[in-house]
Structure 1
């Protein structure tokens, strides 16, 4: 593992090897409709869930797939996973997550322009239009600035987005990049039947066929002792690509726009095999919790940012009635979240 501003796979121009043929698909995970008729869309990359639109009422079903965000939810707190995946409780949009969505959209759209025109001024000029599109597709984000009649907070927020976009140009040179894919939905089914899915921000492929997976983060880079946790998402994506194409990505790259750092890691097959074993153990714990209804909260400092405190026993709340059939567990048997693997 190393920190670098240099890329391994595709910093140079020229032709790239197409990888989309076996990797393309829909651009988001969409869970079945809630009992109240709303539809919840979960975007794999940042994992933000929002209630949007209306749909026919359908029965709640047990989860059948796993994304990096949902895996992270369960490892952080099994009850949070239940609230988001089983109960599909609505969550308020956050300024930070929405800013991340906006910046991602700008960086994606910038590559529509010819290489010579991919400049910082052009990228920043895309922000107003992408913000308009975001408000149209997700009207709930307007609530973020409902108490800002003069638009001062919105102007400052948009200025922060501009700073993040501009900082990216000091980390990568888009005039020398020709991504093979942007915002690429990937899905692979393991031998166990578990489906892994997610959305990769950018895939670069060198003329030699080497693959680099790139993810943009609008926050700050983690301290070295937490870097492994940050790389979990990238190794997840690498595993999916390997399962689909039998190609181990040459490099995994996290671009932290908040701090101006680039974290890179060159995986080997053993890394991906370890991640697969971990995900299988994690999925087994999720299935047991789904069947038994035993979703235990795991209190941490992150609880202060959770939207679901009113339903959490740790804060005196009561979870909604469990909407799935329960399996009776014999006394003394081990099941549920306690068997979830720990980060290593």
Structure 2
């Protein structure tokens, strides 16, 4: 939705995108909050979360060399850990994890629509009441979106709600985006009309992707977000030269597409 050419770079070309401090901070905070719920309820305190930060970072950096190379000295790493700690402080102003027992954490979900389109993604947290009411929770370490961009932020959550509905036949009662650094929560209660509209939008997006895949035409869509794009050097909008399509994608563009397994991921 943001930019067809960016989709091509990421999904078709699969051009690596090294982590940034912002994405690394999100990864670290998510990891701490996921593992915090491994502890007994009474131990899920702000102090315990802070104690987990450095060990979790070391575990993540050991598994990903890109993360390990982000910082040139200890002072940079210390500043990064302090920013992650501030996000965790924000989390504890929003809820008390000692009173929660999530049904799922970092839960991989996948469902197939009648059209054959597969939807899949990872849900940060799923809470469920004894009555069976479902709440989908997503942690954000970025800034709260302005009102004009709330719908875009909620699309990811409606996507997850659609997957749950198709998977379990139950419409989630609440979608909750937790903006930890700002200490704010964006909540939304979807209904069947919302999720049917989301399904139509997802299927229309997939049709657009299929058309671009067959034609080989992945047009850039310039916006303010271009300032944060990692691929500006390759984008014609900024004087770049497109790399050739990978051989498999080029063959599709030249000869048309046969019926293929189709999947869309929530992110």
Q: Is the shorter-chain TM-score for this pair beyond 0.5, marking a shared fold?
A: yes
- Tell me the SS of whatever aligns to 2:69: helix
Separation in 2 of the partners of 1:327 and 1:308? 22
Q: 1:286 maps to which residue?
A: 209
Q: Does 2:142 correspond to 1:219?
A: yes
Cα deviation 1:179-206 (Å, max 9, x = unaligned): 0000000011111111111100000000
2:110 pairs, out of 170, 187, 194, with: 187
TM-score if structure 2 supplies the norm length? Answer: 0.92
2:71 pairs, out of 131, 145, 149, with: 145
Equivalence map 1:205-284=2 (5 Å): 205-284=128-207
Residues 246-255 or 221-230, more deviating: 221-230
TM-score if structure 1 supplies the norm length? Answer: 0.72
Please state how far the C-alpha of 1:320 moved relative to its aligned partner: 1.4
Please state how far the C-alpha of 1:237 moved relative to its aligned partner: 0.1
2:20 pairs, out of 80, 87, 94, with: 94
Please state how far the C-alpha of 1:326 moved relative to its aligned partner: 4.1
RMSD over aligned CA atoms reads 1.3
Cα deviation 1:40-65 (Å, max 9, x = unaligned): xxxxxxxxxxxxxxxxxxxxxxxxxx
Cα deviation 1:237-287 (Å, max 9, x = unaligned): 000000000000000000001211011001101100000000000000000
Q: Does 2:58 correspond to 1:110?
A: no
- Tell me the SS of whatever aligns to 2:102: coil
- Tell me the SS of whatever aligns to 1:185: strand
Separation in 1 of the partners of 2:116 and 2:110? 12
Separation in 2 of the partners of 1:243 and 1:96? 33
Cα deviation 1:275-321 (Å, max 9, x = unaligned): 00000000000001011100001111111111111211111111211
Q: 1:203 maps to which residue?
A: 126
Q: 1:169 maps to which residue?
A: 92
Separation in 2 of the partners of 1:172 and 1:322? 47
Separation in 2 of the partners of 1:132 and 1:293? 42
Q: 1:122 maps to which residue?
A: 48
The structure richer in helix per residue is 2
